[in-house]
Structure 1
Amino acid sequence: METSETRNSPSASTTPAASSPWEPLRQPLYRWVWLASIVSNIGSTMNDTAAVWTMTTMTPSPVMISLMQTMSSLPLFLLALPAGALADVVDRRQQILLAQAGALLTAVGMALLAWMGRLNAGLLLLATFQLGMAAAFTTPAWRAMIPDLVGRAKLAPSFALDAVGYNIARCFGPILGGLLVAALGPVPVFSLNAISFIAVIAVMSHRGYSGQPRSAQKEQMLGAITAALRYARHSPPMQAVLARAGVHVFAAVAPIALLPLLIRERHWAASDFGLLMGCYGTGAIVAALVLLPSLRLRHSYDRVLGGASVVAAVSIGLLGIAANRWLMGLDLLFVGGGWMTALNTFSVASQSAFPNWVRARSSAIYLVVVQGGFALGALCWGRVTGWTASSTALWCAGGWLLVCAAFDRWLPISHVEKLDLSPSNHWPQIHNLAVEPAPDDGPVLITVDYQIDPAQAREFRAAMRALRRTRLRDGAFRSSLFHDLDHPAHFRETFLVGSWAEHLRQHERATVEDKRIEEAVTAFHRGDEPPRVRHFLMTNLRDRTGE
């Protein structure tokens, strides 16, 4: 089961850590899911190694070989958002089960085609794309499921364990895959990958977890996607994380996309490819267990990312001139460590930038950006290699990462760890309406009347700009502020929502951070009563005859 957002990087959270990094494993269901994911990820990394190496035996084209990484990443880019929306409106456990069943059938097909000698470059790319589709539908549901399994207090160590588990697979899977494909060919590797999916299917068939959506107002698929895009559009912290992650992974993917070509150029064996990928995974594990905990305690997100970018830039540049296996393996330790440090930090920041109600969908948007960077980066660096040389492509990627190290000046993200996006439940329930609308009735106009000191009008408008973003982010499609020309102290806020059900969802979506913004606005109110809130439903001006 591919449980990391990029099939390369784990996620994390900013919630307080439990007393021990192993504490989430005390939860039986999480423990079995974690173990099953390691088994499945070992199968997947073995499969990736065998598939890429098999492609190098079919064609010497750098573009075709780099397309393997693109076809692996492209499904997440295309399908992650619909998959994330689906995970927020259906049973997440069932979604994971169906995706893993599809991956099992694809792996069986690859093994059969290879055994019959009918596996060609086109079919190999297609199968890689299909396995990527399974990962696209699994990953958002998995990320949204973790808080339900372990609880908020253990969320951070649970995602750290996810990182360790994946990189255990990344360390040993390529080694085993490379050795097997060198000794026996790709058929045993593809077969073992098929068997590994059974572990996840067996564990997720357990009835101890219910992945049903919790909102009282169930969303439709299209509406859920629209809500996620609207949230991203009006969330500056999320936009900063997405931009930084996208430009970073575009360059950071270069060593993984070009490593098979580097080995081919040196006339090394498939087993060398597996061992070198194991070095990459080992560097990532060391970074996750040794470096990241201390770095997080001492430095901000931006400083950690700046350091990781510099380390990755230098080590990627040196990769192109490594003269022997030992030097390349040592260099890949640093490449893997820089990769883990940067991507894990982006993942932690992304988890801090959106609340629970949109978690799977926002995770999917993050996946789209990261996988878009992967797919475009792999294709770009493959093209550069075709035009020049692999060493030139790696030096260009290293230069790009040096530029990324300076992005904290223009797009800082350290502030997102201070956001409290937990539910506040501070919006009162709506009772005793003279007319009770149906859930699909709409649009709905909400008005809020404020009485302020005219001398504070400028400061009030500044506070309202922040509140307007929360209205638009949480469900409104229009938000405005009006000034009463007859009474200078009177201001009226209005916002339009598509339906009554969507407005009720706004009540559920309010966070502690939203509450702080609203309190900053209401602090300007000078009336004897709280600001008056009223609800209006659009009425049809036509009569029943349609005239």
Structure 2
Amino acid sequence: MHIPPSLKHKKFFYLWLGQLISVTGTQMQLWALFWHINHLNENPMALGGIGVARILPVIIFSLIGGALADSMDRRKVMFVTQSIAALLAVTLGLLTQFGQITIWYIYLITALQAVVVAFDGPSRQALIPNLLPKKDLPNAFSMTFTAFEAGAVLGPALSGIIIASFGQEAVYYFNAISFVAVLIALVMIGDVPQSIAATSSGVSWKAIKDGIHFIFSKPIIFSTMMVDFVATFFASASTLMPIIAKEVLNVGVVEYGYLSAASAVGAVLVAVILSQVKEIRRQGMVFAAAVVVFGIATIVFGMTKSIVVAWLAIAVTGGADGVSTIVRNTIRQLQTPDHVRGRMTSVNQIFFMGGPQLGEIEAGAVAQFFGAPFAVVTGGIGCIVGTILILWKWPQLRTYNGDEPMLAGATAD
């Protein structure tokens, strides 16, 4: 194995390392919240409610966040958002520690954190191409995904252990500390030049409309967003995992943490493999096939009563999602000029976050009436059917191969 070329660029490496630490804390908190809510209220709709809190602010504020990322110093925007996120995590920990926490406080703080994400996400994603040469961008996207999924492996597993050992509030404090890693990275990165065109439109309704028009004028970009939304809307099994763990698999909080980490384990393995692959051909078919595999594995998870099979099925969903994420993100970023990259990312953020968050509501409602296993299985079926319909509607996606093979790994040149 060789060192990925993107990590040879110091500024990108600082951001990558900071994100790895921060995502671990964020994933710890996310899975702890699911467990916390299920402890406070065992109604499946209570778990679905957190999806509303996580997506509505993103829908409302992401487009503004995208315009901001194209008109201001992206590094400074991130510094503010990361600082606020740390304070919100501390607040959640204090309320829990002193026995004042309620499900409504969890919803409120989760919604405020989603506002932060709406502004942070576009700046963070748009900042990456400013940190290294274009030839190393595909590998940078692959390594960024690896960092996020590595954090997602550690986060859920550590979350269960920490809750069992130190209490629920400890997870929230760990998350607050993890944001400091990104703040340090942003200081070490220093000034980052942005395209002059990126600051010309300002934060305005016209700038937002221009970004939306760009998305709709690119069928390949828009169709990948649609597949992302439909697949995760139907096959979002994560919100029902506490119920599956307790009522179907008959396991406790520690095993729940391991099960929650399975998706990220599969994703990391795939990301490491892809980081060593020279190129990916027929990207459209690779992307579509990965999403179909995601749906099939979701069906298996919903049907099994074995913790081993369930873990393997979730790991496969993570690996399939890893392939689709790396391919689609690389396609979008390489086809988007710097002056509109923040706005493209903000629209994409609504799609890729909206799918699973709204899917949590759908899954909770179906589980309420028909049970969690039925909700998961039908969700996997919906994922497959939806993907096939989108491929029929936009055949360009099915046949897409780019102007040349997509560089995926360390030998990007």
- Report if TM-score (shorter chain) is over 0.5: yes
**1:342 is matched with which residue?**
324
Q: CA deviation at 1:191?
A: 0.6
Give the number of the structure whose residues are more often helix, by fraction: 2
The counterpart of 1:201, out of the listed 175, 179, 183, is 183
**1:33 is matched with which residue?**
15
**2:262 is matched with which residue?**
279
Unaligned runs of 5+ in 2: 405-413
1:359-380 per-position Cα deviation (integer Å, ceiling 9, x unaligned): 1101111111222222221111
Which one-letter code corresponds to 1:129 in the other structure? A
Unaligned runs of 5+ in 1: 1-18, 420-547
The counterpart of 2:351, out of the listed 369, 390, 394, is 369
Which one-letter code corresponds to 2:137 in the other structure? L
Structure 2 residue 233 is the aligned partner of structure 1 residue 250: yes
Which one-letter code corresponds to 1:418 in the other structure? D
Q: CA deviation at 1:20?
A: 5.6
Q: Is the 8 A contact 2:37 2:47 kept in 1?
A: yes
Q: Is the 8 A contact 2:141 2:326 kept in 1?
A: no
Give, in whole Å, the separation in 2 of the partners of 1:47 and 1:217: 35
Which one-letter code corresponds to 2:93 in the other structure? A
> In the comparison of the two structures, how many residue pairs are matched?
400
Q: CA deviation at 1:212?
A: 5.1
Residue 205 of structure 1: SS of its match in structure 2? helix
Give, in whole Å, the separation in 1 of the partners of 2:275 and 2:114: 28
Structure 2 residue 82 is the aligned partner of structure 1 residue 115: no
**1:288 is matched with which residue?**
271
1:263-313 per-position Cα deviation (integer Å, ceiling 9, x unaligned): 13144211111101121110111122226865963x422321332233222
Bigger mean CA deviation after superposition, 323-332 or 377-386: 323-332
Structure 2 residue 57 is the aligned partner of structure 1 residue 72: no
**2:252 is matched with which residue?**
269
Bigger mean CA deviation after superposition, 46-55 or 344-353: 344-353
Q: Is the 8 A contact 1:283 1:335 kept in 2?
A: yes
Q: Is the 8 A contact 1:179 1:271 kept in 2?
A: yes
Q: CA deviation at 1:155?
A: 0.8
**1:130 is matched with which residue?**
112
1:169-192 per-position Cα deviation (integer Å, ceiling 9, x unaligned): 011111001111122221111111
1:173-224 per-position Cα deviation (integer Å, ceiling 9, x unaligned): 1100111112222111111111111111122123622355522872231132
Bigger mean CA deviation after superposition, 21-30 or 311-320: 21-30
List structure 1 runs of 4+ shifted beyond 4 angstroms: 291-296
Distance 1:20 1:79, change over 3 A: farther
Residue 119 of structure 1: SS of its match in structure 2? coil
Which one-letter code corresponds to 2:5 in the other structure? E
Distance 1:171 1:41, change over 3 A: same
Could you tell me the TM-score, scaled by structure 1's length?
A: 0.69
Higher relative contact order (CA closer than 8 Å, sequence separation 6+): 2
**1:489 is matched with which residue?**
none
**2:200 is matched with which residue?**
218
Structure 2 residue 403 is the aligned partner of structure 1 residue 418: yes
Distance 1:364 1:209, change over 3 A: same
Which one-letter code corresponds to 1:309 in the other structure? V
Q: CA deviation at 1:53?
A: 0.7
Q: Is the 8 A contact 2:143 2:271 kept in 1?
A: no
1:238-264 per-position Cα deviation (integer Å, ceiling 9, x unaligned): 3323322222221232x1121122113
Give the number of the structure whose residues are more often strand, by fraction: 1
Q: Is the 8 A contact 1:302 1:408 kept in 2?
A: no
**1:235 is matched with which residue?**
218
The counterpart of 1:146, out of the listed 128, 146, 159, is 128
Q: Is the 8 A contact 1:322 1:328 kept in 2?
A: yes
